[in-house]
Amino acid sequence: MRNHYLRFLLFLICTLVYNSAIGQTGSEAPIFQTDYQIQMEKDVLIFNAPGASGTKTIHISGIDDDVSLNFVNGRATFPYPVDQKGKLLLLTHKNSAGKNQYKMVHVAKKSNGTHRVRSIPMWLSVVPPLIAILLALLFKEVMVSLFIGIWAGAFVAGGLRIESLYYFVVSIFEVVEKYVVKALADSSHISIIVFSLMIGGMVAIISRNGGMAGVVKSLSRYAKDAKSTQFITWLLGVAIFFDDYANTLIVGNTMRSVTDKFKISREKLAYIVDSTAAPVSAVAFITTWIGAELSYIADATATLQGFDAGMTSYALFVSSLRYSFYPILTLIFILILIFTRRDYGPMWKAEHRARTTGQVSSARNDDEDEPDMEDLSPVKGAPLKWYNAAIPVFVVIILTIFGLIDTGIASVYEELVSLQPAIVPASESWGDVWPLMYHLSGEDASFFMRVGKLIGSSDSYVALLWASFGGLLVSILMTVGQKIMKLIDTMHNMTIGFKTMLPALIILTLAWSLAITTEELHTATYITNLLQDSLSPYLMPAIIFVLAAFIAFSTGSSWSTMAILYPIAIPTTWAICQTQGIDPDISMEILLNVIATVLAASVVGDHCSPISDTTILSSLASDCNHIDHVRTQLPYALTVGITSLIAGSLATFFGGGILICLLLMVVSVVILFGIVRKFGREV
């Protein structure tokens, strides 16, 4: 049956791509309907617009600048040399109504010296991520699915050259040569990989030295059954609020042995880990997310005409939290599941399997058992001391906070020096920089606003690298110092820990590579443009919710979704409110709702997507089959997501405000409780 699905899917994709490519291989292709036509003449792009004269502005991706075209007798030239490999270009043009029109074209030189200009339908930009997602969910194999998705993206970006076997084969090799290498060339990606490897090495050492077994033994006094164990896991997830990556890897690795003891499925552990990491980071006042969020909000609101909220971007963010239904409801929903002892859908099957058979991890591939994990049980004679695990983990947490503050201070110092006139602290020390922060955050800024500015200016990747290396180093010193293992054995176990992280890191790298293809194909631009003509401002939160969730689902990144949507959603919402004469107070509430919705819906899409980095890391930290994690989490994320969508939409129609949001939050909790009672079954 699966083979029939695969054949149908491949046939459909090939048919669509073929039909899109046929008839567009000539040297001329229509670009903006009747506005422009484009062709190549001796390495020169020729824009034809009958009757046009004077200077027109157009944006061409890859050039990264607005290009001024001087039309004479309906023709304008732009010198742009291309080779046989060619270049994918996105042309952006404002039509007579002032709205952006987009067109993708691939321009390449043929072997005979002529040029090939092919128009690429923009809807094809959503094909690569959808292929990867559908194949992963259908066949429960992520690596091959992601590879095929990237390959599809490379083929589309290469100009749909179905007429040439050479370029068709080249697109396969470009998956590694271009996209994987580019993903690994990103310093932030390498930081995450190194951080994950060192956390894996630390976990292996503290498992073999008896530290993790000691934690299980100690927590057993509080974790007396499945319910209390899940609650402790939830509590740890909420407590480590400052970074979602650190949250995921620390909580998942720490609690895995404890949840195994009480026959809690790895799927349930991965869900609790994943659904406390991003939601708590999204709404906490001081996190590694806050800097990006404030930057997007500040840049977008600075362009609004007639906007004078009298609030800083941090104050706007805090005020918008009352509309953050999904993150808050997700944290509450987990508690409902825990204390009612009920689950539904695939999660109930996983929990029932774990409780009745003791098999905490599922089988896959037609009931073939998953490969055995490396032996991380305590070595013979190891003392089961909880502090051998707790101290390294505590070091990771403390060094993360220290790193955030230290790099934040350094960044704030540079920002103060760059002011006009410059503010130069006596030194770069914390004591000299902190008192001068009011120059950046305002004299009336509260302590938390200043801390938010500080953490937002920090380099979270540097902090995580310091923290993971510090935790690894402490675990090595404690193990060797207590003579639990020799140095050579400790190093060997560290490399075993590295090895356990490798499968998930490969998936993570492929997910990043797929994200590069979606960026190259302008997937988010296409999706966003579909809804740019929305009319009612009261519908904007709902429209933005669906749009943000779909972009995050397709790209696997809540961060990129925020970066794409904030500059669009905030000005569009405000402009619609102003145009339709909406009351200023109501306009502000709608705007706050949209600010919160972009962030919340990004997390929804992130939770539903099998190509999300945090979803992959949650599977990794919980040692759960990745697709099993996605399949069991998806119904829960959609349940809370739909409830949040309805609540956010109603909040706008009722005029917004704290009391309305609080009332809707309570009603939503009651509805979620009713859903669990109605559809859930006791485990």
Work out the average pLDDT over 358-382.
64
Work out the average pLDDT over 54-73.
63
User: Of the ranges 162-171, 218-227, 640-649, which one carries the lowest mean pLDDT score?
Assistant: 162-171
**pLDDT interval class at 303 (50, 70, 90):** low
Q: What is the pLDDT of residue 96?
A: 61
DSSP E strand boundaries for 379-508: none
DSSP state of 420: S
Q: What is the pLDDT of residue 120?
A: 78
Work out the average pLDDT over 536-543.
85
Kindly tell me if the per-residue pLDDT of 453 is higher than 70.
yes
Kindly tell me if the per-residue pLDDT of 550 is higher than 80.
yes
Work out the average pLDDT over 116-140.
76
Q: What is the pLDDT of residue 221?
A: 75
Cis peptide before 421 (omega within 30 of 0): yes
| Cβ atoms of 548 and 527 closer than 8 Å | no
Query: What is the CA angle 283-249-612, rounded to 5?
Result: 65
Q: What is the pLDDT of residue 98?
A: 61
Q: What is the pLDDT of residue 26?
A: 38
Work out the average pLDDT over 133-144.
74
pLDDT tens per residue, range 260-278 = 888 999 999 999 999 998 8
pLDDT tens per residue, range 162-179 = 666 666 677 788 888 888
Q: What is the pLDDT of residue 419?
A: 81
Work out the average pLDDT over 468-497.
91
Total count of residues recorded for the chain: 683
Pair of tokens at residue 374: 């490396």
Please provide residue 655's backbone torsions phi and psi, each rounded to the nearest 5 degrees: 95, -5
| Cβ atoms of 600 and 324 closer than 8 Å | yes
Strand partners, 492: none
**pLDDT interval class at 673 (50, 70, 90):** very high
Kindly tell me if the per-residue pLDDT of 197 is higher than 70.
yes
Q: What mean pLDDT, rounded, does the chain reach?
A: 78
Question: What domains sit in the chain, N to C, each tagged with a CATH number?
Answer: 1-25+125-185 (no CATH), 28-113 (2.60.40)
User: Of the ranges 287-296, 389-398, 427-436, which one carries the lowest mean pLDDT score?
Assistant: 287-296
Pair of tokens at residue 15: 């048919």
Kindly tell me if the per-residue pLDDT of 33 is higher than 50.
no
Work out the average pLDDT over 347-372.
73
* Residue bearing tokens 């949507």: 565
Q: Cα separation of 47 and 44, whole Å?
A: 10
Pair of tokens at residue 278: 């991003």
**pLDDT interval class at 507 (50, 70, 90):** confident
Percent of the chain with pLDDT over 70: 75
Work out the average pLDDT over 567-572.
76
Pair of tokens at residue 354: 């774990």
Residue 71 host element (H or E): strand 65-71
* Contact partners, residue 594, CB within 8 Å, separation at least 6: 540, 541, 544, 569, 570, 573
Beta strands at 681-682 and 54-60: parallel, antiparallel or unpaired: unpaired
Kindly tell me if the per-residue pLDDT of 152 is higher than 70.
yes
What is the amino acid identity at position 161?
R
Pair of tokens at residue 11: 């046939």
* Three-class DSSP category at 88: strand
Work out the average pLDDT over 52-72.
63
